Amino acid sequence: MRAQLFIGQSKLLSFTISKRTTFGRQIRAVGSNEQAARLSGIHVEKVKLRVYALIGILVSISAIIQVSRIGSMDFSNAGRGMEMDAIAAAIVGGTNMMGGRGFILGTFYGMPIIAVMNNLLNLFCVPPFLREAFKGVIVIVAVLLQKKEKTS
């Protein structure tokens, strides 16, 4: 129950920051088109620095959660194998691979979809390399659908 409450609060906070604050709008502008953001008066380097600082804070929070979950930390193996899950969750959530469009809430909704898929593949005793291939197919299909949507 605490985890669900934490995830809900994280969703609300990230949505509020991205949609209702100047900082969120600046992040979107810099992420969409750096040159246009610079020409509109946004200090692109400052925004990037703030984003990197925010990511550092979020990484430290996730490291604390990982340590509390496992009981120890091996920095060389921490998070190994989760890269494809993160990318797939963002893409399934609707983030455009070509840039310019993405939704934080969509990524939050993509995470449980990928988690359920991982659990189902695990229950069906699918070998790990085929699980990764399955996620890769999902990413490729999502990118092709986005490309088709863009050309339509």
The domain segmentation of the chain, as residue ranges, is: 1-78, 81-152
Residue 151 has what pLDDT? 66
CA distances from 102 to 3, 73, 139, 151 (A): 24, 32, 15, 18
Residue 11 has what pLDDT? 81
Residue 150 has what pLDDT? 65
Amino acid at 64: I
* Residue 16 C-beta-side C-alpha neighbours within 13 Å: 6
Q: Which residues contact 92 (CB under 8 A, 6 or more apart)?
A: 110, 113, 114, 138, 142
- What tokens were used for 104? 């934080």
Q: Which residues of the chain fall below pLDDT 70?
A: 1, 73-79, 98-102, 149-152
Alpha-carbon distance of 18 to 35, in angstroms, equals 20
Phi, then psi, of 40 in degrees rounded to 5: -85, 5
Residue 1 has what pLDDT? 67
